[in-house]
Amino acid sequence: MSDLVQLSQDNDVAVITINNPPVNALSPGVPEAIAEAIEHVQQDASVRAAVVIGGGRTFVAGADIKEFGKITSGQHTRGAPLLPAVLLKIEDCSKPVVMAIHGTAFGGGMELAMSGHYRVAAPSAQLGQPEVKLGIIPGAAGTQRLPRLAGVAKAVEMCAGGNPISAKEARELGIVDRLVEGDLRAGAVAFAREVAGKPAPKTRERTGKLGTPEQNAPILAAAREQARKKQRGLMAPLAAIEAVEAAARLPFELGCELERRLFTGCLFSDQSKALIHVFFGEREVAKVPDVPKETPILPVNQVGVVGAGTMGGGIAMVFANAGIPVLLREVDQAALDRGLANIQKNYAGSVKRGRFTQEFVDERLKRIQPTLSFAGFAEVDMVVEAVFEGMALKKEVFAELDRVCKPSAILASNTSTLSIDEIASATKRPQSVIGTHFFSPANVMRLLEIVRGKATGKEVIATAMQLAKKLGKVGVLVGNCRGFVGNRMFHPYRREAQFLVEEGASVEAVDAALTDFGMAMGPLATGDLAGLDVGWRIRKEYRHLEKPGVRQPLAEDRLCEMGRFGQKTGAGWYKYDENRRAVPDPEVAELVRKAAAAAGIAQRQIPAEEILDRCIYALVNEGARILEEGYALRAVDIDIIYLNGYGFPAYRGGPMWYADTVGLKQVLERIREFQQQHGELWAPAPLLVRLAEQGAHFDGFIREPGGKP
Ligand code: 3H9
C-alpha cells in the first residue's frame, strides 16, 4: 500500500487510514490506494467490515484543488474520471464500510463518505459540499447521493449554497448514523462490528427521500430564485440545482452523467478559475516573504481602542466577538454614551436577525469596558487608535499612548489615508507602530489592511497578521503610501465615475454598469454609503498637493457644500427615502449639467462598455503602479483587498486577475485610447506596458528586490 493510505486490522475489522497532510485531499494516488485497500477487504476472509478514517486533523477536505488548474491547462490527460469509479467500488463492497468522520468531510470528502454504507462522526465534525465556492459543483456523485440521504431540499441547500452543516445536524438528517464521543476510531470499529454480516445499504439505491416532481418543483423554484438573488452572476449554484433535480428525475447513472457534464462545464469556466485563484490567494496573502513562519508572535490578550465613533465602536465589537477584552476610550461622556449606544443597537440588531443570542451578546458587552481616561492602558498589549482623521490629532494621541502604554505594547492606527511613519514619529517606539485599517462596518467587513511603516518590527507584523485571522478577518500587508492599496486605487475609480457623469452619463447608468459587472454597489452609491464628507475633508487636507491644470471632479464638493453627505443626510448622489432606498434626483443631474457647461465639458451618449472599462481600468492601472512600487506584495494581494473590502465580484477574481483574463495587451490598448482622449491621468503604468509587451500577466509577477518599501 502507498504512504498515502494505510491498511491495518483490529481483529475482524479492517481500518483504512488516509494520510495526505495537511487536509487529506484526494490527490493523485489517494483514490487508487483506497480502491486497493477495499480490494483487500473484499478478498480477506478474516475481515468482516471496514472503517475508513482520516489520519491527522481531519477526514478528507475534498479533491486536491491544485489539480484542477492542471486539468484545465491540459497538463492532465487522464481519461475517465477516477473518483466516481472508486466510490462505486466502495459502495459495491460486499462487507459494510463505515466512514469515520472528524474535522471536515468536504467536497470529494463528503462524496467519499456517502459512498460508505454507514457514517459515524465526531460531534465537532463538519460536513459539506462547498464546491460552488470554487465555481464548480460536486463531481463525484455528490449531487446524486446527497438527496438520497438527506432529501432534495437539504441537498439543494448544501450543494447550491456551499455552507457546511454540523455533525449533529447531519445525524438528525440521516446523513450520519451515529455520533461518537471520545475515541472516534474505537467507536467506528465497534459500530462496524455491530453491522458486520448484515446487508449493507447502498446509498445510490435509496429512493425514499427523493420526493415526487410535484413536491420538488416549488423547492427547486425557490432555490433558483434565491441563487439568482443571493449569488448574483454565479453559474455554479444554478448548475448544482439542475444536478440535484436530475437525482430525483433520472436513474442514478444518468444523473451522474449529467452531473459530470455540468461539473466539466463549470470547471473550464472563467468563474471557476477566478474562484480557485481566490481560494489560494486568501491563503497566500498570509505569507510575507521576509517575515518567516517562525517569527515570534506577541501575546494580545487585552486591548485598548481610542475613539468610540463608528469605526472605534465597530473595532471594539470585533475584539469582543473574538473573546478579547477591550478598554474603549472617549474624550467626553456624551461621545462615550453615543458610542456605547451604537454598539448596543448594533448587537440588538444581530439578536433580532437571529445571528446572535441575547446571552452571547451580553457576554460580549461585558468585555467592552468604557472609559474616559487612559487608566488601565498600561496593562493592554495593543491599542487601536480610531480618532478623527487628522495628522495633528493622531500624533497627539500616539505621543500620549507612548507615555502610558507598557514598552511591549503595539500601537496601531486605523487611519485610512495618513502616513504611518509620520504617526510613528510621535513615539519613541516606531518599531511597535503599525496600521490596522478596518473597513466600515468593522464588525462585518472581512478586510483588514495591515500597514507596514518603515520601522515596523517583524514580530509586530507577524502578530498583526495572526491577529487578523483570530478576529475572523483577511489580513493583507500593504506598504505606507497615500491611501494605502485599497483607497489609493479607489480614488481614480471613483474619479472616472464622476467624470463620466460630467460627460453625460446618468448617475444611475454609471452605477448600473458596475453592478451589472458584479460589483456589490456602484461607485456613486458607495460614496453615498460611506459619506461624501469623508472624501471632502481629505481633499481639503491635501488640496495643496493637487497639480494645477489637472482635471478634478466637480460635483462632489458642491454636493457637500449643499449638506448632501449621502445616506446619513438623506441625500447625496441620490435622494434616500425613509427606508434608505436610493431614488434618482433630477436636482443632481441639473447641478452636474450646469457645472459641466461652465467647465466646457461636452455632453454625449456614453455606452455601458465605456463606463465599465474606464472605471475598472482606472483601478487596474493604479494597481499596476502599486505593484511595481512594492506597496502590495503580489497582484493577488490587491485582488483579495478588492474582493473583501470593495465588493468586487469574487467570480472575476479581483481587478488584477480580471485584467489578466481580458489580456494585458488589450487592457493597455484601451488605456492608451483613454489617454489620447482624456490626457495624462490615463498614462499607462510602466509595469502594465512591460508585461503587455512581454505577453505576461500580473499573476505571478515578482518585483525585483530593492524596490521601495
Ligand atoms: C471537490 O472536492 C470536487 C469534488 O466534487 C470532486 C470532483 C471530482 N486541495 O485552509 P487552510 C491547503 S472541490 C488542495 O489554511 P484551515 C490550503 O491551500 C474541493 N489544498 O486550513 C493550505 O495550504 P498552505 C472541495 C488544500 O484549517 C492548507 O491546505 N473542498 C485543500 O484554515 C491548509 O488549509 C473544499 O473546497 C484542497 N481541497 O481550513 C475545501 N484544502 O498551507 C477547501 C486545503 O500551503 N478547504 N488545502 O497555504 C477548506 O475549506 C479549508 O482548507 C479547510 C481547513 C476547512 C479544510
| pLDDT tens string 651-668 | 999 999 999 999 999 999
Determine whether the shortest distance from the Cβ of 61 to ligand 1 is under 6 A. Answer: yes
Determine whether the shortest distance from the Cβ of 285 to ligand 1 is under 6 A. Answer: no
Decide which of 146 and 578 is more confident: 146
Whether pLDDT at 183 is above 50? yes
Determine whether the shortest distance from the Cβ of 259 to ligand 1 is under 6 A. Answer: no
- Average pLDDT (671-678) is 97
pLDDT given for residue 77 in this prediction: 58
The separation between CA 220 and the C-alpha centre of its own chain, rounded to angstroms, equals: 27
Going by DSSP bridges, is the β-strand pair 178-179/165-166 parallel, antiparallel, or unpaired? unpaired
pLDDT given for residue 546 in this prediction: 79
In angstroms, the CA 404 to CA 9 distance is 63
Catalytic site residues? 111, 131
The helix/strand/coil state of 30 is: helix
Nearest CA to ligand 1 atom 10: 283
Residue 83 Cα: closest atom of ligand 1: 8
> What interhelical angle do 486-502 and 635-645 show, nearest 10?
70
Question: Phi-psi bin for 425: left (phi > 0), alpha (psi -120 to 50), beta?
Answer: alpha
Determine whether the shortest distance from the Cβ of 139 to ligand 1 is under 6 A. Answer: yes
Determine whether the shortest distance from the Cβ of 108 to ligand 1 is under 6 A. Answer: yes
Candidates 65, 72, 266: which one to mutate for ligand 1, based on the most atoms within 8 Å of Cβ?
65
From residue 81, give the alpha-carbon distance in Å to each of 34, 63, 77, 308, 706.
15, 12, 11, 57, 47
Determine whether the shortest distance from the Cβ of 127 to ligand 1 is under 6 A. Answer: no
Nearest CA to ligand 1 atom 54: 23
Determine whether the shortest distance from the Cβ of 65 to ligand 1 is under 6 A. Answer: yes
Q: How far is the CA of 63 from the centre of ligand 1 (A)?
A: 8
- Average pLDDT (280-284) is 96
Residue 287 Cα: closest atom of ligand 1: 48
Q: What is the mean pLDDT of the chain?
A: 95
Instruction: Find the range with the poorest average confidence among 158-167, 408-417, 531-540, 561-570.
Output: 531-540
Nearest CA to 4 among 24, 298, 22, 13?
24
Question: Phi-psi bin for 107: left (phi > 0), alpha (psi -120 to 50), beta?
Answer: left
> Which residue bears the cell 464628507?
533
Whether pLDDT at 460 is above 80? yes
In angstroms, the CA 269 to CA 227 distance is 18
- 23: phi then psi, degrees, rounded to nearest 5: -125, 15
Quick one: pLDDT band at residue 62, thresholds 50, 70, 90?
Answer: very high
pLDDT given for residue 707 in this prediction: 52
- Average pLDDT (225-233) is 95
> Which residue bears the cell 505577453?
695
Residue 283 Cα: closest atom of ligand 1: 48
Nearest CA to ligand 1 atom 23: 283
Quick one: pLDDT band at residue 709, thresholds 50, 70, 90?
Answer: very low
Residues whose CB falls within 8 Å of the CB of residue 85, separated by 6 or more in sequence, listed in order: none
- Average pLDDT (396-400) is 97
Q: How far is the CA of 698 from the centre of ligand 1 (A)?
A: 24
Instruction: Find the range with the poorest average confidence among 182-186, 409-413, 553-557.
Output: 553-557
How many Cβ atoms from other residues are within 10 Å of residue 540's Cβ?
Answer: 11
Determine whether the shortest distance from the Cβ of 522 to ligand 1 is under 6 A. Answer: no
- Average pLDDT (190-196) is 98
pLDDT given for residue 332 in this prediction: 94
Radius of gyration, alpha carbons of the chain:
28
Residue 58 Cα: closest atom of ligand 1: 56
Whether pLDDT at 708 is above 60? no
Beta strands in 389-464 (DSSP E): 410-413, 433-438, 447-452
Nearest CA to 147 among 168, 166, 173, 126?
173
Q: What is the DSSP letter of 251?
A: -
Whether pLDDT at 706 is above 70? no
Beta bridge mates, 104:
126
Quick one: pLDDT band at residue 268, thresholds 50, 70, 90?
Answer: very high
Nearest CA to 688 among 707, 653, 663?
663
Nearest CA to ligand 1 atom 46: 61
Report the greatest alpha carbon distance in the chain: 93
- 31: phi then psi, degrees, rounded to nearest 5: -60, -40
What is the percentage of the chain residues whose pLDDT exceeds 70?
A: 98
Torsion, CA 569, CA 570, CA 572, CA 577, rounded to 10: 170
In angstroms, the CA 500 to CA 509 distance is 10
Determine whether the shortest distance from the Cβ of 130 to ligand 1 is under 6 A. Answer: yes
pLDDT in tens, 74-122: 777 565 579 999 999 999 999 999 999 999 999 999 999 999 999 999 9
Determine whether the shortest distance from the Cβ of 138 to ligand 1 is under 6 A. Answer: yes
Q: How far is the CA of 472 from the centre of ligand 1 (A)?
A: 17
Burial class (CB in 10 A: 0-12, 13-18, 19+), 11: exposed
Q: How far is the CA of 172 from the centre of ligand 1 (A)?
A: 26
Nearest CA to 378 among 423, 409, 336?
409
In angstroms, the CA 510 to CA 253 distance is 48
Instruction: Find the range with the poorest average confidence among 48-62, 317-331, 568-582, 655-669.
Output: 568-582
Nearest CA to ligand 1 atom 32: 283
Q: How far is the CA of 66 from the centre of ligand 1 (A)?
A: 9
- Average pLDDT (382-397) is 95
The helix/strand/coil state of 92 is: coil
Specify the amino acid at residue 145. Answer: R
In angstroms, the CA 474 to CA 483 distance is 18
How many Cβ atoms from other residues are within 10 Å of residue 323's Cβ?
Answer: 11
What is the b/e burial string over 116-142, where b = at least 16 CB atoms within 10 angstroms of the residue's CB? bbbbbbbeebbbbbbbbbbbbbbbbbb
**Sign of the alpha-carbon torsion through 524, 527, 533, 535:** negative
How many C-alpha atoms does 304 have within 13 Å on its Cβ side?
Answer: 30
Determine whether the shortest distance from the Cβ of 76 to ligand 1 is under 6 A. Answer: no
Candidates 4, 20, 23: which one to mutate for ligand 1, based on the most atoms within 8 Å of Cβ?
23
> Which residue bears the cell 455632453?
603
Sheet (strand 97-101) strand order:
5-10, 13-18, 49-54, 97-101, 118-121, 178-179
Determine whether the shortest distance from the Cβ of 384 to ligand 1 is under 6 A. Answer: no
Q: How far is the CA of 65 from the centre of ligand 1 (A)?
A: 7
pLDDT given for residue 534 in this prediction: 82
